Amino acid sequence: MNSDAKIPFLDLVTPHHELEEDLVAVFRQALKTAGFIGGPMVQGFEEDFAGFCGTRHCVGVGSGTDALRFALLAAGVGSGDTVLTVPNTFIATTEAVSQAGAVFDFVDIDESTYNMSPEQLREYLETKCDTDPRTGIPVSRRTGRPVKAVVPVHLYGQTADMDAILDVADRFRLIVVEDACQAHGAEYFSRKRNAWCRAGSMGAAAAFSFYPGKNLGACGEAGAVTTDDDGIAAKIRMIRDHGQARKYHHDVEGYNGRLDAIQAGILRVKLRSVDRGNGMRREIAARYNRLLSASNGLIAPIEPSWSRAVYHLYVVRTRFRDDVLKYLSENGIVCGLHYPVPLHLQKAYAGIGYREGDFPVSEKVAKEILSLPMYPTLQAEQQARVIDGIKTFFSDH
Ligand SMILES: *Cc1c(COP(=O)(O)O)cnc(C)c1O
């Protein structure tokens, strides 16, 4: 196979070429007005992004991790609470729970979508909890604390099965906070609402990251919470700004977690092309699906009928993952692993006492997943080379 130029995993340079004038204009505007923190650029972006997600509110914050932490705090999660999430996610999901003062615990994922299994969630609540006779709230036997919230992660740009998760959450009176950090514009068909709903519009609140590599990325750090709840939105506006609703009058202790005005202005410019970029990602995914289906031993991503994924990552699975990764890398094709070690087996969480075998689906998947190059500017010739590389690998082995 020919290996001319390297095929990068991500392209964060060319998308900014056609936007350069508009992006520089944002910086000039900030310099002219000295509007670096808050102000009309932040407000304007918040309005636009709430519109994009179909929510009443959007509150800009410093990062996706801030967004998760503030959403949990504002929704009422705190010390003494248990929050359930999945082992197959980025560590920011559990960091936010711990930093909100709560403890996390895990439920395993669905093997076909890699997202939280609603059955595992139900099973956890039914078989691994006792019901507090006074409050009727499930208390985790493992953590010894009441289960207050659940954080489904819309991993790789595909929403979790939200109707099913919301049903279980309703039954056990859990707060649902979506980790939508990889799912800007992803859609879920809710049979309950009989409508397509965007990621970030289904839980009590949702967290987005605008880290540069995300489907909507800033030119630095940024994040946002979306919600329909006036109270949650108001609380996050305080929490992100040292707990003050009025300058130097602090109702609670908060954080320095504001969204930078320049980043907000940049995001406002880039938001205009997110739907187009997502459409291109879907086309690239469809081409991968079509042309890779002939490769035995390779599992392409599965998109259930209720999902319109936005392919933040295009993740395939194979038993020969490490060999394929090595072969592609030798041929100038850069791939990624999201994520190689499930959270319950991370060194940082060794003290929690989970062992290999505790979350079998997450563990199996972690050994087999491979993220192929995926971005709107991925050229057809580049994609053809990735596909050729994979086909050659499988015909040679
Ligand atoms: C990127 C990401 C985050 C954290 O976002 P930051 O902006 O880097 O803080 C959280 N959860 C998931 C699933 C992510 O992919």
Helix, coil or strand: residue 5 = coil
pLDDT digits (tens, 9 = 90+) for 33-73: 999 999 999 999 999 999 999 999 999 999 999 999 999 99
CATH code of 274-396, in short, is: 3.90.1150.10
pLDDT digits (tens, 9 = 90+) for 348-378: 999 999 999 999 999 999 999 999 999 999 9
CA 68 to ligand 1: nearest atom: 10
Q: What is the phi/psi pair of residue 280, to 5°?
A: -65, -40
Positions of CATH 3.90.1150.10 in the chain: 274-396
Beta 223-227 vs 57-61: how paired, if at all?
antiparallel
Report how far residue 165's alpha carbon sits from residue 258's, in angstroms, rounded to the nearest whole number.
31
Tell me the whole-structure pTM to 2 decimals: 0.97
121/297: higher pLDDT: 121
Positions of CATH 3.40.640.10 in the chain: 15-271
pLDDT at 1: 45
Taking 80 as the threshold, does the pLDDT of residue 294 lie above it?
no
Tell me the average pLDDT of the chain. 96
CB neighbours of 133 closer than 8 A, spacing ≥ 6? none
The closest residue, in CA terms, to atom 14 on ligand 1 is 181
Ligand 1 centre from 58 Cα, in Å? Answer: 17
Element (H, E) at 82: strand 82-85
Q: Is the Cβ atom of 90 under 6 angstroms away from ligand 1?
A: yes
Q: Is the Cβ atom of 65 under 6 angstroms away from ligand 1?
A: yes
Q: Is the Cβ atom of 203 under 6 angstroms away from ligand 1?
A: no
Taking 70 as the threshold, does the pLDDT of residue 390 lie above it?
yes
Our separate counts of H helices and E strands in the chain read: 12, 16
Report how far residue 34's alpha carbon sits from residue 30's, in angstroms, rounded to the nearest whole number.
5
Ligand 1 centre from 327 Cα, in Å? Answer: 29
Whole-number percent of the chain with pLDDT over 90: 94
Task: Say whether domain 15-271 belongs to CATH 3.40.640.10.
Answer: yes
Q: Is the Cβ atom of 223 under 6 angstroms away from ligand 1?
A: yes
CA 182 to ligand 1: nearest atom: 15
* Burial bucket for residue 227 (CB in 10 Å: 0-12, 13-18, 19+): buried
Whole-number percent of the chain with pLDDT over 70: 98
pLDDT at 40: 95
pLDDT digits (tens, 9 = 90+) for 319-354: 999 999 999 999 999 999 999 999 999 999 999 999
Average confidence (pLDDT) over 146-158: 98
Pick the catalytic residue from 214, 235, 347, 364: 214
Report how far residue 19's alpha carbon sits from residue 188's, in angstroms, rounded to the nearest whole number.
30
Ligand 1 centre from 182 Cα, in Å? Answer: 7
pLDDT at 314: 98
From the list 23, 16, 17, the residue with the least C-alpha distance to 265 is: 23
pLDDT at 297: 79
Average confidence (pLDDT) over 380-389: 96
Assign 245 a pLDDT band (cuts: 50, 70, 90): confident
Taking 70 as the threshold, does the pLDDT of residue 2 lie above it?
no
DSSP letters spanning 7-24 = B-S---SGGGTTTHHHHH
Q: Is the Cβ atom of 257 under 6 angstroms away from ligand 1?
A: no
pLDDT digits (tens, 9 = 90+) for 209-230: 999 999 999 999 999 999 999 9
In this structure, are residues 7 and 330 in contact, taking their beta carbons and an 8 Å threshold? Answer: no
Report how far residue 152's alpha carbon sits from residue 158's, in angstroms, rounded to the nearest whole number.
11
Assign 154 a pLDDT band (cuts: 50, 70, 90): very high
pLDDT at 80: 92
HSE (CB half, 13 Å, CA atoms) of 387?
19
Pocket test for ligand 1, best of 182, 313, 339 (most atoms within 8 A of CB): 182
Please identify which residue in the block is written with the tokens 């507090």: 132
Q: Would residue 235 show up in a list of annotated catalytic residues for this protein?
A: no
From the list 89, 41, 93, 49, the residue with the least C-alpha distance to 67 is: 93
Report how far residue 83's alpha carbon sits from residue 72's, in angstroms, rounded to the nearest whole number.
9
Peptide bond into 354 cis (omega under 30): no
